[in-house]
Amino acid sequence: MKISKGKVVSMHYALTDVTGEVLDSSEGQAPLDYLHGYGNIIAGLEKALEDKEAGEKLKAVIPPEDGYGIREEALVKNLPLSSFQSPDEVELGAQFQAETSEGPRLATVTKIEDKTVTVDLNHPLADQTLSFDIDVVDVRDATEEELAHGHVHGPKGHGH
C-alpha cells in the first residue's frame, strides 16, 4: 500500500542538522505514527513520503521553508513581566505555549531585563535545513474516526 492522503504511516526516523548532529530520533522507541496529508508533520517530509511503501528507506533533506520556517524578527517580543501569570517562574530558557493570532506557538524566554521579558516565538528549528533518515514500517488505511479528527489514534483509541 502506497502512502497517500488518509493513510496512517508508521515510521522510524532520525533527524540530523547540517553538521550531522542528531536532533531527534525514534531509536529505541516505538515507531512514530501519523495521519498523512493533514499537516501533522512538516510539509517537506509529507512530500518526501508521498507514494512510498512499507519497507522503504529514504533520506529527505528539507529546506527551512518546507520545515519549521524562516526566522522572523517580528516574532521576538518584549513583554512586561507583570503580564505573566506566574512572574516568579519566568527564567531564561523557559518555554511555554503562547496564544497568538496564528494559533498556539512555542515561546522561549531569551532575555529578562528589569521588568521586561523578551520571548522568541520562532520555532527552535526555524532557519535550519533538516535531514531525515526514514524507515517506513507500516502503511494502513485510517479509520473514519481518525479521518474525522485529522490525526492518528493509538491502538486503544483515545477518549475525546
CB of 33 to Zn ion, least distance (A): 12
Q: How far is the CB of 30 from Zn ion (least distance, A)?
A: 18
- The residues, any chain, with a CB within 8 Å of residue 48's CB and separated by 6 or more, are 58, 60, 62, 132, 134
- Least Cβ distance, residue 82 to Zn ion (angstroms): 38
Task: Collapse the DSSP code of 81 into the 3-class scheme (helix H, G, I; strand E, B; otherwise coil) and give the result.
Answer: helix
Alpha helices by DSSP H, listed for 12-151, are: 43-49, 144-149
Could you tell me which residues come within 8 angstroms of residue 13 by beta carbon, excluding any fewer than 6 positions away?
24, 25, 26, 32, 132, 133, 134, 135
Minimum Å distance from CB 147 to Zn ion? 10
Binds Zn ion (CB under 5 A): choice among 12, 71, 105, 149: 149
**Nearest approach, Cβ of residue 5 and Zn ion (Å):** 17
Looking at beta carbons only, is 16 or 143 nearer to Zn ion? 143
User: Positive or negative, the Cα torsion across 52, 53, 58, 63?
Assistant: positive
Question: Which of these ranges, 23-31, 34-42, 89-97, 145-153, lies near Zn ion under the rule CB under 5 A?
Answer: 145-153
**What is the C-alpha separation between 14 and 146, in angstroms, rounded?**
26
The C-alpha cell 520571548 sits at 119
Q: Among 27-35, 70-78, 99-107, 149-157, which window interacts with Zn ion (CB under 5 A)?
A: 149-157
**Candidate ranges 18-26, 49-57, 95-103, 142-150; the one touching Zn ion (CB under 5 A):** 142-150
How many residues of this chain interact with Zn ion, rule: CB under 5 A? 1
Give the residue at shortest CB distance from Zn ion.
149
- Of 1-9, 52-60, 63-71, 144-152, the segment contacting Zn ion by CB under 5 A is 144-152
Sign of CA dihedral 53, 58, 63, 69: positive
Point out which residues bind Zn ion (CB under 5 A).
149
